[in-house]
Structure 1
Amino acid sequence: MNTTNEILVIDLEATCWENERIPIGQNVDIIEIGICKLDLQSKVISQKQSIYVIPERSEINEFCTKLTGITPKLIEEKGIYFEEACEKIIDEYHSENLAWAGFGNFDKEQIFEQCDWLGIEIPFGGEYLNVMEEFRDHFSLHKMIGLKRALEYLKMDFEGNHHSGADDAYNAAKILRKILE
């Protein structure tokens, strides 16, 4: 793994549609970057936050709001553009030098896709750790399981609201911390 003693754990929320049918003329856009830092020595999880992102290629619909709790009004009041969100992550977390993690590969792929679309640098420099795969391998499970089921397996409570980026990132960090014990 990385040589630093910290790893960033992220969880994204993105525009979504019922039955995963993306309407013509729209694309999946990141609307929240949940992020926190896990100190690998002290095992402390810190700097948990939600960075709300203005979707540039799609709109937040009722289904998406029901799932994530993110409304167009919330984005209007607190949202920043994705490029600014990436700069904020670099400034606040010094992310270009740290390994980063997420529960599954969607988050990594979506970051790469959106950075590529905008022609900007990826805000993370270190290796990516798929916590879902690490969990499966660590416990020798035959198949992948979701975030909530992984916590249940560990007899841990889910803290916060599922499909809140910051809460999901925090809970994924708890799982990663347990795996690394």
Structure 2
Amino acid sequence: MKQDKILVVDIEATCWEGRNPPGQENDIIEVGVCLLDVNTGEITGSRGILVMPERSQIGKFCTQLTSITPGLIEDEGIYFDDACDILEREYDSKDLVWASYGDYDRNQFQRQCSEMRVAYPFGPSHINVKTMFAEKRGMKRGTGMATALEMLNLPLEGTHHRGVDDAKNIAKILHWALNN
């Protein structure tokens, strides 16, 4: 495992107010990714990979939350298996420790890979930044990413609930947690 860099991932998925509509499954629609240099805190390779939902549709609630529209996905989206290939090929995702804020991203990737018969693109080493932050701060429970940034007096940069921006914000929290 390469230890000098950590792959930070934040996904956005199709979502609805309340329960999923009949016949619709949560699909990853954006994989936000960046590399955190553990030593310097430098964030590189930042990218948002837009993914076409294959088992659901993007509704108004989802667009309001993420700013991702069906038109944006039609113009720029790729298939989920191709997004997983990019993670492996361009980010060495199988060889790097990877991190996300909470377990939702890891669980959604595992579930969607299994259900769609796509090879899981990550290695076994995962850091739950939400839990790590709570432990470092002596908190009994984790807090949301925006609140964690606020507690560290760090600005929330970009658009909250856009994977490409949230991955960079999570990387800042992770760098703090690794060095405190």
Q: Classify the TM-score, shorter chain.
A: over 0.9
8 Å contact kept, 1:112–1:122: yes
Q: Structure 1's 40 and 126: CA in aligned 2 closer, same or farther, altered over 3 A?
A: farther
| Alignment RMSD | 0.9
What one-letter code is carried by the residue in structure 1 that aligns with 2:178? L
Whole-angstrom CA distance in 2 between matches of 1:64 and 1:95: 27
- 1:27-38 superposed matches below 5 A: 27-38=25-36
Whole-angstrom CA distance in 2 between matches of 1:155 and 1:178: 11
What one-letter code is carried by the residue in structure 1 that aligns with 2:71? K
Which residue in the other structure is 2:174 paired with? 176
Find out whether 1:155 has 2:147 as its counterpart: no
Which residue in the other structure is 1:6 paired with? 5
**Structure 2 stretches of 5 or more lacking a match?**
none
**Structure 1 stretches of 5 or more lacking a match?**
none
How much identity, in percent, do the aligned residues show? Answer: 46
Instruction: Provide TM-score, normalisation by structure 1.
Output: 0.96
Whole-angstrom CA distance in 2 between matches of 1:178 and 1:4: 16
Aligned residues: 179
> What secondary structure, in the 3-state scheme, does the structure 2 residue paired with 1:90 have?
helix
Question: Could you list the per-position Cα deviations for residues 128-152 of structure 1 after superposition, in whole angstroms to 9, with x for gaps in the alignment?
Answer: 1100000000111121100000001
What one-letter code is carried by the residue in structure 1 that aligns with 2:40? S
Whole-angstrom CA distance in 1 between matches of 2:135 and 2:52: 36
Q: CA deviation at 1:3?
A: 4.7
Which residue in the other structure is 1:118 paired with? 116
8 Å contact kept, 1:95–1:124: yes
Q: CA deviation at 1:117?
A: 1.0
Find out whether 1:101 has 2:94 as its counterpart: no
| Moved segments of 4+, more than 2 Å | none
Instruction: Provide TM-score, normalisation by structure 2.
Output: 0.97
What one-letter code is carried by the residue in structure 1 that aligns with 2:163? G
